[in-house]
Structure 1
């Protein structure tokens, strides 16, 4: 069967000068109307966060996408990346991820997705400088 588009949203944040810590911080939240979903519900998403560091000391950035519904909060995608090594100098680095949430439970006909970012060390003084975004779209087979 052909897939049908259900809903899409964009959350944009340009919060600059906020320190990135070891505690996950939200940088994007959006809700998708999935009430008309048929079988094989699929959510496709991408997220970008830009971080400035004073040096490229060994630091990893973790970006997590959470699904929120009446069933609770569930991490559906997590990626950890290190800052590129540029002769020990810092700079601004954009981290972009893309993924999908296949066959998520859909108890309410409305799913919330949230992007969070954290680091494993604050030695390099990581700071969110923007831009930041979370984009998501919902698709399924037509409801029967």
Structure 2
């Protein structure tokens, strides 16, 4: 790791400025596309209300994750050590790179319960009413919590290990 760190040199200020502007443009473009996707989901008549809300939540969550990654955390990826420096965040909330990494990994891990509950919802629509695999809404919520609780610890556990 020390050898890799020794190879790092600061970029020319014009290159740093170009990278910052491109991050801002791509994040704004991603936000605009997310809004367009949300409009399409809302206008689609063939989706159930619950599934449309799940899709909207996935879009909002992924957009907020990107905003956190690009504008607030702005990690400097140096292999093999991830995110040991913050580059130049647009929104400079004072926290160190370690806590930013823990939050970032936790946000990545929380994608799993969102996709799992979306899959479960679609699966429950095609299951016959009298099937043993038909689950009630309380069990859906319990399953979401069972999946989400360990995901909240992944960032810290990964950082500590």
**TM-score, length of structure 2 as denominator length:** 0.22
Structure with the bigger RCO (C-alpha within 8 Å, sep 6+) is 1
Bigger strand share: 1
**TM-score, length of structure 1 as denominator length:** 0.24
Say which one has the larger Rg: 2
Bigger helix share: 2
